[in-house]
Structures are given as structure tokens and as C-alpha cells.
Structure 1
Amino acid sequence: MEEQFDAAYWQQRYQSGNTGWDTGRITTPLKEYFDQLQEKDLRILIPGCGHAYEAEYLFRKGFKQVYVADVADAPLEHFARRVPGFPKEHLLRQDFFSLSGTYDLLVEQTFFCALDPTLRPAYARQCAALLKPGGKLVGLLFNTSFTHDGPPFGGSSEEYSAYFEPYFNFLHFEPAYNSIPPRQGRELFMLLQKKNH
């Protein structure tokens, strides 16, 4: 991984408040997806979780097997203060590519676009490795290109689908209709299911 996007880089971004991706709350597409989940004992992983509003929402709704991972300490410490009842052992200060274990659901929210684009094929492969057969990857991807140097890094649905197709069946992979206003028309909502092979 390029040195500039290592743990120290992200720690510095959080400490300086340079977190333009942080919406301060769960975004509508994921909230609406979570609201229709019935099984409270799903093992859920949120990689590159940042301030983890999604984990907070799920935890407060009674999901007890939620795990969050980030390479930087600052967002995990912030989350632990904000949600003191969240199990400390579910806070994983770890690089996504070194995680192990099996999960029913992986949640993608602005992590994929923060990675160096050369890591995208490895991201798709690792998501599949962390999911049990039939497990799902749900989340949002930027369906746009950016004029500035990343992160975030943009891309297109055609590019993204090539990474995921070897490992996943596509249940939903369309422009999000309920994005938050600043991201309207620029996000794909994906719901992918790990292939059984």
C-alpha cells in the first residue's frame, strides 16, 4: 500500500478534522436497508469504519454481533466514547487486508473510495474471503470521477462490476435513489451475494 495512505496518514486526517466524507450520521440508503433486516444475530463487519455511524445505528437497534475495523486509532476512540456500551473486543484496529473471520454481512461506506485504486481487485477478493457462503456485501460506491487527487477516488459501475463479478452474484447494483443531497446522482447502491463455489 502506498505510504501516504497508511495508518499515520488517516490518523492525521482525523486529528486535524480533515474528514470531508464524514456526514455526521448514518446515510439514508444504508439506514433503509438496515431497517428491513430481521435477523439480529447476523455477524456484521464494517471495514474502514471511520466514526462508524452505521455500527452505532445497528447496535442501538439490537444487533449485537457488529464489528468495526479501522487502521487509525482516532475514529475508534471517538466511537468508543460515543457508544460506551459497544463491546470493546468488537473494535478492531487492523488493516482490512489482514482481517480474518467469517461474517454474514459486510457494510461498505466510503472505505472502497479511500483505498488506492490499485487495491480494488484485492478488496473484492478480501470481501469474499471474509463472508460465509451466501453472505452479502451491501453499501455505496461513488459512481463519478473526481477532478482532484484522491482520496476519495471515483470510478464507474462498469469498472467496479469487473472486480466483484468473479466472487459475487449481483442482487442490486444501480444508482442510489435516496442518496443524501451532496451525493445525489453520484452513488451506486450495491447488494451483492457471495457465490457458493
Structure 2
Amino acid sequence: MADKDNSNTTGVSSLSGHFEKYQGDRYVEGWADLWNKGDNLPWDKGASNPALEETLVYGDKVLGSPIEQEGEQRRRKKALVPGCGRGYDVLLLASFGYDAYGLEVSEAALEACKQEEAKSGEKYPVRNQEVGRGKVTWVQGDFFKDDWLEKLGLERNSFHLIYDYTFFCALNPSLRPKWALRHTQLLAPAPWGNLITVEFPTHKDPLEGGPPFASPPKAYLEHLSYPGEDIPYDSKGSIRSDPLREPSDKGLERIAHFQPMQTHEWGKDEKGEIRDRVSLWRRRD
């Protein structure tokens, strides 16, 4: 396990140099280039995140059923995974009954998703036979643009569940205001729409740069509470927050925050203590 962790650290640290030439909105080109080369994919853990599975199992009373029932009409809720990688978490969400959408910028990434889906077999069994399995859809596009929504025939605010794990931390912090605002544009109104974030890496020194960039709980809390606004960081790269400031009416509300019982190995410290945190969010409006 130590060797595996060391290789991950080496691979992740080499990403900093790669992304020096892909600043700002050009980040999408940087990720597409990595997928096209296929020689440095350190974020690929080969399986869905145990913290997400745990949240879906034990958080069902908060998240509700993956099925919407209106009279005799029955339809599946939609779940979105931006920057879905090889699609493990998309397949997991479908096994729980959601119509799950995996979004990636690279054709090579989506081809890897399709290959994983074809060979997944019994890795993602149906969790509730009465609910059944949801449909899986892979789509190429930029999270911040609407063209992929139009391609799917969907409007904004169509997703009942959005899952973020290694997407927030992959973005340069300068893009975090846009990231937070975009969730208010994609997430269905409360109480039907839920954003699940697995916060990682929570204990990295912000001055080490990234990706992955240091992403403590306070960073998620500030950006999602004030979407689209510039959030100040101090000289050490830490969030400067005003505890007396009222959250924005346009922001998301954190309705749960906890340490998962399980997560990927790189979400733990040297002693094996879990440092990842899970948070659930809903729109305020």
C-alpha cells in the first residue's frame, strides 16, 4: 500500500508542471491532453469512492428515493458527475437507481468510461430490485458551458444529485467562484436537488500548489455560500472568512458534514486516519 501511495504522490506532484501552460479556462485542454497521452492518470483509483457509497446507503432519508412518484407517473432522478474519470462513480449511482450522467472534456476519457461500463459485470449490482438500475449516459463537454446540456436535451437545474470528488481540487482556486455558481445553475431546487462533495485534500499545505489544490472544508463552505463571488485568501493560501457575514440568498446551504467511515487511501494521513470529509448541500432559493 505504501508503494502505491508513493507512486500516487509522484504522479500528482508532476501535474503542477504540466498545467503551467494551461491557465484559467484553458484547464480543460490540460486535462484532455493528459487523457490523450494516457501516461499520467494518478487520480484513477480503479473503483468507485467508498465514501460516496456510504453516503448513498446511510443518507437515503436525506437524499430521498432515486424515483420520483407523481400519481401514477414514475420517473428516475438525474445524477451528474462532472470530471467523472473512468466513470466508476457514475456506474455506482446508476446501480442505486439514478439516471446517471458522466461528464468529461476528453473523447479518450469517455472511451475509457465505455470500456469500464462494458467490463464492469457484477461490480455494480442493483441495490434495490424495486427501484432497479438507472440509465448511464456519457457526455463530452465543458462543465462551465451549456452546449452539453443542449446536446442532452436538458435545461439548467435538471439534476437532482451532483457529485464532486476530485473536480473542485483539480481546478485552480481562481476558478472556484465559477465552480460554485455553476452548481446553482445545474442543481434542482430544494429539497429535490442535493450536491454531495467529498472534500479532498483537506490537510494539504495550500502553498504546495496543485492539482490537487488544498481543499479544506472552509473552502467549500465559503465558495458555496457565496457562489460567483471572489473569496479572499491570505498570504499562506488559506481562506479569510467573516463568521458574522450572512450567507447569500443565491448560495447553497450545507445540511450535513461528517467524516466517512471509509474512503480512498489517498484521503488518509500517514497514520491511516481518514482526512476526507463529506458534505451535503441544497439551494437556498
Structure 2 length as normaliser, TM-score? 0.61
Match of residue 41 from structure 2: 19
Match among 55, 66, 73 for residue 39 of structure 1 = 66
Greater length-normalized contact order (CA 8 Å, ≥ 6 residues apart): 1
Deviation for aligned residue 1:48: 1.1
- Give the CA deviation at 1:148: 4.0
- Alignment RMSD (CA, Å): 2.5
Which one of 143, 162, 173 corresponds to residue 96 of structure 1?
143
Q: Distance in 2 between matches of 1:77 and 1:171?
A: 36
Correspondence for 1:194: 283
Q: CA 1:23–1:13 in 2, change beyond 3 Å: closer, same or farther?
A: same
- More strand as a share of residues: 1
Name the larger-Rg structure.
2
Does the CA contact (< 8 Å) of 1:49 and 1:109 recur in 2?
no
The separation in 2 between residues aligned to 1:112 and 1:168, in whole angstroms, is: 15
Q: What is aligned with 2:9?
A: none
Partner of 1:49: 84
Query: Hey, what's the Cα distance between the residues in 2 that align with 1:61 and 1:176?
Result: 19
Paired with 1:150 and 1:4, the residues of 2 have a C-alpha distance of 16
When normalised by structure 1's length, the TM-score is 0.86
1:156 CA displacement: 2.2
Identity across matched positions, percent: 25
Matches within 5 A, 1:8-157: 8-14=29-35, 15-36=37-58, 37=60, 38-40=65-67, 41-63=76-98, 65-84=99-118, 90-99=137-146, 100=149, 101=156, 102-134=158-190, 135-142=193-200, 143-146=202-205, 148-157=208-217
> Which residue does 1:7 correspond to in 2?
28
CA distance in 2, matches of 1:79, 1:174: 30
Cα gap change, 1:4 to 1:96, in 2 (>3 Å): closer
Question: For this pair of structures, how many residues does the alignment match?
Answer: 194
SS of 1:106 mapped into structure 2: strand
Query: What's the CA shift for 1:62?
Result: 3.6
Q: Which structure 2 residue ranges, 5 or more long, are not aligned?
A: 1-21, 68-75, 120-133, 150-155, 226-247, 269-273
